Amino acid sequence: MTDDQLMALLISTITSGLVAQGFNVPVEQEYQPTLQGTPGGDSVFIWKLSENRYGFPGRSDKFATGIMTHMETERIEVMFQIGALAIQNPSNITSVTAADYVRAVGRTLQSDVAQHAMLSAGVGIYRIQAMRQPYFKDDKDNFESSPSFDFTVAYDDVYLQTEPSTGIVTGSVTIS
22 domain-assigned: yes
135 domain-assigned: yes
63 domain-assigned: no
Residue 160 one-letter amino acid: L
C-alpha to C-alpha distance for 6 and 49, rounded to whole angstroms:
14
pLDDT value at residue 48: 94
Structural domain count, the chain: 1
Within the chain, which residues score under 50 in pLDDT?
A: none
pLDDT value at residue 58: 82
Contact 74, 53 (CB under 8 A): yes
62 domain-assigned: no
DSSP secondary structure code for residue 40 in this structure: S
